[in-house]
Amino acid sequence: MSSKTVREMIEENKSSKTNFRGVTEKVMPKFLLLCAIISVLTTFGIVFTLIFETFNFFSKVSFLEFITSPDWYPMHSNASFGIRPLILGTLTIAAIAILVALPLGLAAAIFLSEYASDRMRRIVKPVLEVLAGVPTIVYGFFALTFVTPLLQNIIPGLSIYNALSPGIVVGVMIIPMIASLSEDAMSAVPNAIREGAYAMGATKFEVAIKVVFPAALSGIIASIVLAISRAIGETMIVTVAGGANPTSAIDITNAIQTMTAYIVQISLGDAGYGTTAYYSIYAVGMTLFVFTLIMNLAAYFISRKFREVY
């Protein structure tokens, strides 16, 4: 039988907990700092790799040709490395996607924020966000095997590989990003502002469009810019359903090629290691990195410019 009193046992237990807490307080900040350092170093490593390999590419190809030539034929005997067709293909997909996602996403956000009951919001919002969890390869085959044949019944001249079908499906994929982030921004608007508008005789729709929407504009614009950035960086949907035809002609009924789709094509082994075509994927990757960086910086500055503090 232990000779310790209850008080001694309590004090001993407190002492052990205090020691554990002391160790935790000392170790955890160092662990978190290590995680932050690893994240930063990883980012620098990616950027350094892109820059270094891009310089290797431009040691063989003129930068002026890269930005001005209208042709992209990296695998031909008389190779041409003009990035314009890939940029146009990428922007075409992003434009179609945002035309699909913007009205649907904002409409869903307004409904969830201003019209839906709490019970309906708890059901509808998670279901809507499930779209963001669907693998993009599934979206790609959905675009190729379902959306494209459906569109061919409406547009007889539509090619099996085209810009319209993957653009629409990319738009469907980014709807949750616009809807969820915009709904969060609108829900953050204080109810006192809504009640003041109602007191002045505004209808529910007027409150949503003329009061809540402008008040949440910074978050809404940020969600749109981030969604565009996501559409620009999409890979598998455009690889599967968009084709591999880099062209400067803007024709949504025929095959195109985006920057990400080209990277996938070359990464599969079409070009040998150390060739100019191989190094071209880094130049294209750097271009894509610059595009997404600009979009994310734009989202940051726009959100700060239009931010409302309540």
Instruction: Map out the domains of the chain as residue ranges.
Output: 6-59, 72-305
What span, in angstroms and rounded, lies between the C-alpha atoms of 272 and 127? 45
Burial of 93 (0-12, 13-18, 19+ CB in 10 A): buried
Q: Are 166 and 93 in contact (CB under 8 A)?
A: yes
Residue 131 is given by DSSP the state: G
Of 188, 221, 203, 213, nearest to 300 (Cα)? 221
Mean pLDDT of 248-275: 82
CB 252 within 8 A of CB 97: no
> What would the mean pLDDT of 129-135 be, rounded to a whole number?
81
Average pLDDT over residues 301-310: 67
Residue 96, helix vs strand vs coil: helix
pLDDT band at 10 (very low <50, low <70, confident <90, very high): low
Q: Looking at residues 297-303, what average pLDDT do you find?
A: 77
Burial class for 207, CB neighbours closer than 10 Å (0-12, 13-18, 19+): buried
Task: Give the per-residue pLDDT at 270.
Answer: 67
| Residue whose tokens read 């950035």 | 229
| Range in 147-156, 279-288, 292-301 the model is least confident about | 292-301
CATH annotation of 72-305? 1.10.3720.10
Give the pLDDT band (50/70/90) at residue 98. very high
Please give the pLDDT value at position 38: 92
Q: What is the pLDDT of residues 149-168, one digit of tens each?
A: 999 888 888 889 999 999 99
pLDDT at 101: 93
Average pLDDT, the chain: 83
Residue 146: predicted pLDDT:
92
The most confident of the ranges 90-104, 181-195, 225-239 is 90-104
**C-alpha to C-alpha distance for 102 and 192, rounded to whole angstroms:** 28
Percent of the chain having pLDDT more than 90? 15
Q: What is the identity of the amino acid at 25?
A: E
Task: Return the beta strands (E) in the chain as ranges.
Answer: 72-73, 80-81
Q: What pLDDT digit, counting tens, does each position of 34-65 carry? A: 888 998 899 888 888 888 888 888 888 888 88
Q: For 115-152, b where at least 16 C-beta lie within 10 A, e where not — what string?
A: ebeeeebeebbeebeeeeeeebeebbebbbeebbeebb
